[in-house]
């Protein structure tokens, strides 16, 4: 068994085996973020989903009111004037066949890929490259659109996509550990509200199972799920 570092041991000892109220948990998250870089704040939410059924799948987007804390690089696959429009709107990259060829070669210098609807048949072959990375454009995630300007601006301001994995767990970043506790709480509320709003039709009975937060290098902190949901969504 690998020996834990002194830093890891110290921060783990600060976490009690209990469920924390949201503000307590966020204070602890910031306190236990002791890496030499600004860590990402992460939420890990277990839901009662069996994602092999179509009516129990969860894939959607949410806009974090306080942003992601990250400079999002957006790429756009389009043709003609849409390429110019994308670059003017702040796209990091924009192109058509040239950009498709770069992606096929594994050159992926972006965080989000937007495509216009007419390009979808052409980029279908990118599924094997982009699918495992969660970067394949889809109408449901808002990344297949003719309105590339608004789409680019939304993603750069804090819009992100999330989905439940095979175990029914949602893993989503909700800011950086140098955010204030109030801003982190606002983003966390937006995520929970989105998950509740987009509850799959096939879910019966209890929907939420557990709710943990942590920083990139920090320990998991369990939230008092009932208290948080009753307080913010009753």
- Residues 78 and 151 reside in one and the same domain: yes
Contacting residues for 192 by C-beta, under 8 A, at least 6 apart:
45, 228, 229, 232, 233
Average pLDDT for residues 87-116, to the nearest whole number? Answer: 94
Task: Tell whether 90 and 59 lie within a shared domain.
Answer: no
C-beta of residue 187 within 8 angstroms of C-beta of residue 175: yes
Q: Are both 109 and 221 inside the same structural domain?
A: no
The tens digit of pLDDT for each residue in 22-62 reads: 999 999 999 999 888 999 999 999 999 999 999 999 989 99
Q: Residue 2: inside a domain, yes or no?
A: no
Domain hosting 150: range is 74-156
Answer yes or no: is 8 within a domain. no
Q: What's the total number of domains in the chain?
A: 2
Report the CATH number that the domain containing residue 146 is assigned in CATH: 3.40.50.790
**Listed residues 128, 156, 184: the one ending a domain:** 156
The answer to whether 233 and 192 are in contact (CB under 8 A) is: yes
130 and 147 within one domain: yes
Which pLDDT band, with edges at 50, 70 and 90, does 234 fall under?
Answer: very low
- Same domain? For 84 and 107 the reply is yes
């Amino acid at each position: 068994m690998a020996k834990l570092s002194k830093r890891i041991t110290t921060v783990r000892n600060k976490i009690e085996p209990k469920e924390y109220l949201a503000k307590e948990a966020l204070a602890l998250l910031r306190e236990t973020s002791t890496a030499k870089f600004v860590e990402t704040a992460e939420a890990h939410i277990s839901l009662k989903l069996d994602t092999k059924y179509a009516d129990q799948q969860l894939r959607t987007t949410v806009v974090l009111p306080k942003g992601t804390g990250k400079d999002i690089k957006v790429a756009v696959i389009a043709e003609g004037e849409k390429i110019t429009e994308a670059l003017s709107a702040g796209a990091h990259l924009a192109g058509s066949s040239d950009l498709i060829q770069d992606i096929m070669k594994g050159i992926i210098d972006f965080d989000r890929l937007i495509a216009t609807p007419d390009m979808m048949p052409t980029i279908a072959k990118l599924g094997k490259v982009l699918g495992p990375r969660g970067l394949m454009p889809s109408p449901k995630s808002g990344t297949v659109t003719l309105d590339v300007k608004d789409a680019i601006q939304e993603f750069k301001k804090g819009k992100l996509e999330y989905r439940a994995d095979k175990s029914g767990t949602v893993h989503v970043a909700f800011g950086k550990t140098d955010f204030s506790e109030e801003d982190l709480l606002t983003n966390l509320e937006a995520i929970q509200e989105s998950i509740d709003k987009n509850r799959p039709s096939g879910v019966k009975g209890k929907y939420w199972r557990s709710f943990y937060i942590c920083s990139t290098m920090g320990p998991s902190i369990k939230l008092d799920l009932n208290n948080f949901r009753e307080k913010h969504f009753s």
